[in-house]
Amino acid sequence: MKLLRYGPKGSEKPGLLDADGNIRDLSEHISDLSGDTLSDASLDKIRELNIADLPWVGGNPRIGPCVGQVGKFVCIGLNYADHAEESGMALPEEPVIFFKATSAIIGPDDTVEIPRGSVKTDWEVELGVVIGKETKYVSEADALDHVAGYCVINDLSERDFQLHRSGQWVKGKSADTFGPIGPWLVTRDEIPDPQDLPMYLDVNGHRYQDGSTRTMHFSVATVISHLSQFMSLQPGDVISTGTPPGVGMGQKPETYLKPGDRMELGIAGLGVQKQPVVASA
């Protein structure tokens, strides 16, 4: 299934994308795509619904983040061998973990704001993993059973804040609008192998990132298992699993976002995001 949230910011309703690409309203059956509504039991109940009986959503509503009320937004750094090479950094022995503020989360086509004082706002297409049930000390063999579904994430980063402003990477990762998520939450049954997904990102029609989850250093299962050794993961938590090469910091010369730019990014089977870029007010 392709699940989504639509409507004005802060008032999104849960929906489902039917086979013809139409949005069907789910608000009579679930309150939101968050928390326990992402459990296997809840998703199975949605699957049992007759899609043709669900209300059709007309017009062209805004698509919101595909997960609501996110508790943790966990990110993995330097997780693609080819991205580590372009960054001039060694591959880590264990997953590099950092957090992104949940206040950074926006819809897939919402406007991205370059924060005040930014000189190096960068892009990163990433595979997002949404947890569907409490996960603690899970094995790699069982880790994917704890996934509700997958989505596209743009892990926007301000490199000067991230690398030169002291402290952890979170400073460069958490600006408002730096976490577009969606358009869809694609349930795990539709993605049999998350390690074989082509992905791309364009800026102003120029292809900068053209990669695949095949080059991940630590697989999705390894990442989930590793994280669960240090913290419990809850339904609705989001994991952003790293980016392939082609980020602005890796260009020669370095290239960064500026007001007026437009990004387009996508992952096979998970949909496309399109974001205009403006200066923060």
Determine if the pTM surpasses 0.85.
yes
**Average pLDDT estimate for 36-42:** 97
Determine phi and psi for 244, rounding to 5 degrees: -80, 175
Per-residue model confidence as pLDDT tens digits over 142-165: 999 999 999 999 999 999 988 777
Task: State percent of the chain over pLDDT 90.
Answer: 90
Q: Where are the domains of the chain?
A: 2-57, 73-279
Per-residue model confidence as pLDDT tens digits over 110-152: 999 999 999 999 999 999 999 999 999 999 999 999 999 999 9
pLDDT at residue 89 tops 90: no
pLDDT at residue 87 tops 90: no
Of 73-87, 88-102, 231-245, minimum mean pLDDT range: 73-87
pLDDT at residue 83 tops 80: no
pLDDT at residue 56 tops 80: yes
Q: What is the CA radius of gyration of the chain?
A: 18
Binning pLDDT at 50, 70 and 90, where does residue 81 land?
A: confident
Rounded to an integer, what distance in angstroms lies between the CA atom of residue 15 and that of residue 159? 36
Determine phi and psi for 259, rounding to 5 degrees: -55, 140
Binning pLDDT at 50, 70 and 90, where does residue 170 land?
A: confident
Fold that domain 73-279 belongs to in CATH? Fumarylacetoacetate hydrolase; domain 2 (3.90.850)
Per-residue model confidence as pLDDT tens digits over 206-224: 999 999 999 999 999 999 9
**Average pLDDT estimate for 85-105:** 89
Rounded to an integer, what distance in angstroms lies between the CA atom of residue 268 and that of residue 208? 17
Give the N- to C-terminal CA distance of the chain in Å, as an integer: 38
pLDDT of residue 183: 98
Task: State percent of the chain over pLDDT 70.
Answer: 100
For residues 261 and 278, the answer to whether their CB atoms sit within 8 Å is: no
Of 165-174, 222-231, 252-261, minimum mean pLDDT range: 165-174
User: In degrees to the nearest 10, what's the CA dihedral of 157, 159, 161, 165?
Assistant: 150
